[in-house]
Amino acid sequence: MRRFLIFFTFAMLHLGGCTESRKPTAVDVSPDMEPVVTALGRAYAAFNRGDMTAAVEPLDAQIEWTEPAEFPGGGTYHGRDGVKQYLTQSRAAWAEVNSEPERFIIAGNRIVVLVHARVRPKGSNHWQDVSLADVYTVRNGRVVEMRAFADRRQALRWVGADAERDR
């Protein structure tokens, strides 16, 4: 059951939302990616407050959204409506979700978001902390693909970024 909760936690939090951060978010941003990073930050905040319409706003209408197969609900979702439905279902599984982007790393046309999430399952007073990474592919200023990773280093390797940047 614990393993299920851990995998479920990862699946639920790829777009976790940010609220007021206790520490500043580190951003490695090129000028052309700055508006996208800003929009993604707003999307995380929207997810956190349960506003799925705003959470999918920076996504291209034909977005391809992939969760690892080992995650509950893992698979590929297409279009904003498909992602919105997935995110709504994901967030509903928790009593509380607080997820903050800790760092945005630009790697060519991709943005790696290192995320720290805290979740509290329904019927529990115990919080779980999770560190994960979301990788967004950007074309013409729109997010056209997202791939979630439970392992941050794997995400950085996938985009060809130096693992030393994950510090």
- The pLDDT value given to residue 93: 78
Judged against a pLDDT cut of 80, whether residue 143 lies above it is answered with: yes
CATH code of the domain occupying 2-165: 3.10.450.50
Q: Rounded to an integer, what distance in angstroms lies between the CA atom of residue 135 and that of residue 103? A: 12
Other Cβ atoms less than 10 A from the Cβ of 35: the count is 13
- pLDDT grade for 3, boundaries at 50, 70 and 90: very low
* Chain segment 98-123, per-residue pLDDT in tens: 889 999 999 999 999 999 989 898 99
- The pLDDT value given to residue 162: 63
Percent of the chain with pLDDT over 90: 59
Amino acid making up residue 23: K
Of residues 70 and 125, more confidently modeled: 125
Confirm if 73 and 4 have CB atoms less than 8 A apart. no
Other Cβ atoms less than 10 A from the Cβ of 123: the count is 6
* Chain segment 69-100, per-residue pLDDT in tens: 776 677 899 999 999 998 988 888 789 988 89
Is residue 16 classed exposed, middle or buried when 0-12, 13-18 and 19+ CB atoms within 10 A define those classes?
buried
Confirm if 14 and 87 have CB atoms less than 8 A apart. no
- The pLDDT value given to residue 30: 62
Give me the mean pLDDT over the 26-31 stretch: 54
Paired residues of 76 in beta bridges = 66
Give me the mean pLDDT over the 51-79 stretch: 90
The residue ranges of every structural domain in the chain are: 2-165
Judged against a pLDDT cut of 60, whether residue 145 lies above it is answered with: yes
Q: What is the overall mean pLDDT for the chain? A: 82
- pLDDT grade for 166, boundaries at 50, 70 and 90: very low
Q: Where are the alpha helices (DSSP H) in the chain?
A: 2-12, 34-48, 52-55, 79-92, 152-159
